[in-house]
Chains A and B, each alone.
Chain A
Amino acid sequence: MKKLSIFVLSLIPLVANASNDVTQLEGSFKVGPAIILIFILSLFILVGLLFRAKDTTDYYAAGRGISRVGSGMAIASNWMSAASFLGMAALMYGTGYHGLSYVVGWTGGYVLLLILMAGQIRRYGKYTAADFIGDRYYSKTLRTIGAVIAILISIAYAVGQFGGIGLMFKWVMGIEYNLAVIIGGSVVLAYTLISGMLGVTKNMQIQYVIIISSFMIPLFLLTFKFDYFWLLPQIGYGSAVQDIVEGIQISEKSGLMNSLGHHFAIVPSPEYAMPWDPSAGQTFFQWMAIAFSLMIGTAGLPHVIQRFYVVPKARDARWSVVWGLFFICLLYWSAPVYSALGTILSSNPEVGTLSPDAIVVYTAQLGDINPLIVGLLAAGGVSAAFSTTSGLLVAGSSAFAHDLYVKVINPMARPKTQMLVARLGTLLMAVIITIIAMVDLALIAQLVAIAFSMAGCTIFPLFLLGIWWSGSNRAGAKAGLIVGGIVTLISLTYLVGARGLGVAI
């Protein structure tokens, strides 16, 4: 029955190149995945046009007319970036249990966000993070600094996304990475400029459906094919983790192969699951520090906080976090499945060194899943990067146009001028992000973690104390920003320096 099912699945018409007759997983232009990708991107632009921003309220905060579940989906889509879709599995593929610190940090932070921030932020009725900071601390300087930090965070975060878009475009089109970054970046820029936040929010709901379906479908197929409990792969892969720890002999799963013709077998590899394993080069302290900084970073990211301005009431803001977190967790429960199966499928040294950031796609490819479904997966990755990037560009341009231009430079600016400045800001940011993405500084998730560190050190304390402690004042906020800025600068210097010296981070 099982063989029959696999046979039936393989009868789906193939348009794309099969991968089982080459020694490398990357190659030339893949027609099927390219068609899927173009279709999905066209859909985004169409929705963007249909729901495009008509005025500044629409552009910044989607007219405050989005439902709780819809907002939850938008939160999830906005959140589930290339770092979640591609980077999560990449981290666990390379560092095993250590990668779970990112899963725990990125989801646990939502509890903080909810109980400490979400409802309260909505209650103050601001548009942007800098709005709140400027008004709360009665300071134009702090507003300006807040806006600049929001822009920097958006840029740091978006660099990882552009990297993810570049990787997927490279895989689909068989072109060079830098060119792929430029093409992918141009498409996301065009779309954001056309639609603004209202289109983005509507799109985010569609994007969520695409992201989660494209991520789940290959999981059912893979767990079914390799004899794990496929009805609920998020639990079924537990046996795969245990198999990695204990090893799988060829005789145990005889007949099961990867697309390159290697047996579904692996030597005992406890380092995959054991905590802070010496061979992974990560320590207990790093696990705790990463989880903690990602948690406070989550609660301080301007583009995440900004989502709470788009729900009608504080109560809706709270419930949208519950929905958002649930939708996010659907993906985070699933990402380790790719990592576990990818570890087994690529364990033969003949497979060679794979780019961890593309392990999700490689796992499906090595599992000999229909190329069209692999294409859908790649399109999901692009979609994840798209949804976050467009949100980031809007948050960054809002800070640029609303917080810097209107509130500081030209308070008398007409709405039309504001829109123009917002769009110019978006364009400028996209150019900067593209250039940095081409440098290929680190893994996608690590790049994104920089944005979290920055948000955790700067925006989070200003919001937390500003909301909950009437004694917090302008001088304290400035001092906090200086210290937070220095800490961030040190970590950035370390990252860039380590990259320059070729040291692993």
Chain B
Amino acid sequence: MEKNDYRISFFKPTTQQARKNRNLIIKLFVVWAVAIFGFQILLRIVEKPVPEEALITFSPAWENIEMGNASHSDYQAIAQSMIQVMGKITIKPDDYAALKDGTGWALSKVYPEDELPDLEQDVRHLHELRGQITSLQDKEYLETKELIISKAAPALGIGEGTLLAQLLAIGLDDNLQLLAEENKEKIPRIMSLYLTHNRSFLTDTVFLGFPFHYFYSAVFLLVFFVGLCWIYCYRTDKLHAKLNFLEQID
């Protein structure tokens, strides 16, 4: 073929080489498209919104609170669930602030009323220290955190050495009894947003340690792409050799 000959048609190849090349391209293209988009469509078809355990605990407890017949364990349940959401990396600052407000309020409902001012004082002190320290390993800062944990965690039914206890210590504001009306309205929506996920057998099956769908998209597809490229080059070389086809050389 001449260097500047543009008279080519993919759908009407004029030579045997062009015809075979077109067939190879179509086959690889179809396999490629199905592997990428077909899998994601399948994922979409089989998925269902599934709530996390924390939401399953939160919802009836919150309902009881709204109906005015909540028990201590209901307040403990919503606080634990809210702290769990506050520990999520994706949480937005506004949502974090609303849950912080809610957690403090739930704590105030189960904490001895006469000891609340002391606890609020400790929280205030922790916030002041946070603005002054140069290291998160500062002794006084750590001690204050531990003090808050030792007071608040048991009231919420949280073990002192747990991750939730760590999150609780830094997730309280210093006015525990007050819950802004606006935040009260937002909290159920926030909880539902962060605690509902699209799941299916493809996401729940574990393969080589990964959730299967994650492995497929993050690892397998890339191997597959390299494989497809290799197949194309190998088959093209073989085809050119078989047909004695010479490509343009400058």
Interface residues of A (CB under 8 A from B): 20-23, 64, 93-94, 96-97, 100, 103-104, 107-108, 110-112, 114-116, 119, 123-125, 135-136, 229, 234-236, 238-239, 241-242, 245, 247-251, 260-263, 265-280, 284, 287-288, 291-292, 312-315, 318-319, 321-322, 325-326, 329, 332-333, 336, 343, 346-350, 353, 466-471
B178 CB–A CB distance under 8 Å = no
On whether the beta carbons of B9 and A22 are closer than 8 Å, the reply is: no
Contacts A100-B217, A288-B37 known; 14 new A-B pairs at CB < 8 A:
A108-B221, A235-B219, A242-B206, A247-B163, A261-B136, A266-B163, A269-B88, A273-B203, A273-B214, A291-B40, A315-B237, A318-B232, A348-B167, A349-B96
Residues in chain A near residue B85, CB distance under 8 A:
267
Residues in chain B near residue A100, CB distance under 8 A:
214, 217-218
Residues in chain B near residue A241, CB distance under 8 A:
209-211, 214
Stretch from B116-124, B149-157, B189-197 forming part of the interface with A: B189-197
On whether the beta carbons of B203 and A470 are closer than 8 Å, the reply is: no
On whether the beta carbons of A270 and B248 are closer than 8 Å, the reply is: no
Stretch from B25-33, B62-70, B180-188 forming part of the interface with A: B25-33
Residues in chain A near residue B110, CB distance under 8 A:
none
On whether the beta carbons of A267 and B84 are closer than 8 Å, the reply is: yes
On whether the beta carbons of B222 and A107 are closer than 8 Å, the reply is: yes
On whether the beta carbons of B250 and A238 are closer than 8 Å, the reply is: no
Residues in chain A near residue B19, CB distance under 8 A:
none
Closest to A343 in B: B89
Closest to A342 in B: B89
On whether the beta carbons of A263 and B229 are closer than 8 Å, the reply is: no
Q: Pick from A112, A272, A318, A469: contact of B233, CB below 8 A.
A: A318
Docked CA distance A319–B90 (Å): 42
**What is the predominant secondary structure among interface residues of chain B facing chain A?**
helix
On whether the beta carbons of B198 and A22 are closer than 8 Å, the reply is: no
Contact with A along B89-116 (1 / 0, CB 8 A): 1100100100000000000000000000
On whether the beta carbons of B161 and A251 are closer than 8 Å, the reply is: yes
On whether the beta carbons of B193 and A279 are closer than 8 Å, the reply is: yes
Q: Pick from B6, B36, B88, B237: contact of A108, CB below 8 A.
A: B36
Residues in chain B near residue A284, CB distance under 8 A:
40, 44
Docked CA distance A22–B135 (Å): 5
Going nearest first, the 10 A-B pairs with the smallest beta carbon separation are A238-B209, A238-B210, A267-B87, A239-B209, A468-B10, A274-B197, A270-B197, A322-B229, A329-B222, A100-B217
Docked CA distance A322–B25 (Å): 15
Q: Which residues between 229 and 250 of chain B lie within 8 Å of chain A, taking CB atoms? A: 229-230, 232-233, 236-237, 240, 247-250
On whether the beta carbons of B8 and A467 are closer than 8 Å, the reply is: yes
Max chain A Cβ within 10 angstroms of own Cβ: one of B87, B210, B229? B229
B72 CB–A CB distance under 8 Å = no
Count, chain B residues at interface, CB 8 A: 81
B228 CB–A CB distance under 8 Å = yes
Contact with A along B210-226 (1 / 0, CB 8 A): 11011101110111011
On whether the beta carbons of A249 and B163 are closer than 8 Å, the reply is: yes
Q: Pick from B43, B135, B206, B249: contact of A21, CB below 8 A.
A: B135
On whether the beta carbons of A275 and B203 are closer than 8 Å, the reply is: yes
Residues in chain B near residue A288, CB distance under 8 A:
37, 40
On whether the beta carbons of B4 and A124 are closer than 8 Å, the reply is: yes
On whether the beta carbons of B209 and A271 are closer than 8 Å, the reply is: no
Docked CA distance A325–B84 (Å): 41
On whether the beta carbons of A114 and B229 are closer than 8 Å, the reply is: yes
B47 CB–A CB distance under 8 Å = yes
Contact with A along B125-149 (1 / 0, CB 8 A): 0000000011111000000000000
Chain B nearest CB from A495 CB (Å) reads 21
Q: Pick from A103, A115, A250: contact of B217, CB below 8 A.
A: A103
Q: Which residues between 18 and 52 of chain B lie within 8 Å of chain A, taking CB atoms? A: 24-25, 28-29, 32, 36-37, 40, 43-44, 47, 52
On whether the beta carbons of A332 and B163 are closer than 8 Å, the reply is: no
Residues in chain B near residue A467, CB distance under 8 A:
8
Chain B nearest CB from A398 CB (Å) reads 18
Chain A nearest CB from B245 CB (Å) reads 11
Residues in chain A near residue B215, CB distance under 8 A:
238
A–B Cβ pairs within 8 angstroms, 7 of them: A107-B221, A234-B219, A242-B210, A262-B136, A267-B167, A312-B249, A318-B233
Residues in chain B near residue A280, CB distance under 8 A:
90
Chain A nearest CB from B175 CB (Å) reads 19
B57 CB–A CB distance under 8 Å = no
Residues in chain B near residue A353, CB distance under 8 A:
93
Residues in chain B near residue A262, CB distance under 8 A:
136, 166
Chain B nearest CB from A93 CB (Å) reads 8
Residues in chain A near residue B208, CB distance under 8 A:
235, 238
Chain A nearest CB from B55 CB (Å) reads 11
B86 CB–A CB distance under 8 Å = yes
CB-CB under 8 A for A329 and B225, given A124-B4, A271-B90, A288-B37: yes
On whether the beta carbons of A115 and B87 are closer than 8 Å, the reply is: no
Residues in chain A near residue B44, CB distance under 8 A:
275-276, 284
Docked CA distance A229–B52 (Å): 28
Chain B nearest CB from A32 CB (Å) reads 21
On whether the beta carbons of A250 and B203 are closer than 8 Å, the reply is: no
On whether the beta carbons of A268 and B84 are closer than 8 Å, the reply is: yes
On whether the beta carbons of B217 and A236 are closer than 8 Å, the reply is: no
On whether the beta carbons of B135 and A23 are closer than 8 Å, the reply is: yes
On whether the beta carbons of B89 and A346 are closer than 8 Å, the reply is: yes
Docked CA distance A269–B162 (Å): 17
On whether the beta carbons of B162 and A250 are closer than 8 Å, the reply is: yes
B170 CB–A CB distance under 8 Å = yes
Docked CA distance A93–B88 (Å): 12
Residues in chain A near residue B203, CB distance under 8 A:
273-275
Docked CA distance A291–B218 (Å): 13
Residues in chain B near residue A250, CB distance under 8 A:
161-163, 166
CB-CB under 8 A for A325 and B219, given A125-B3, A270-B52, A275-B43: no
Residues in chain A near residue B24, CB distance under 8 A:
115
Chain B nearest CB from A381 CB (Å) reads 21
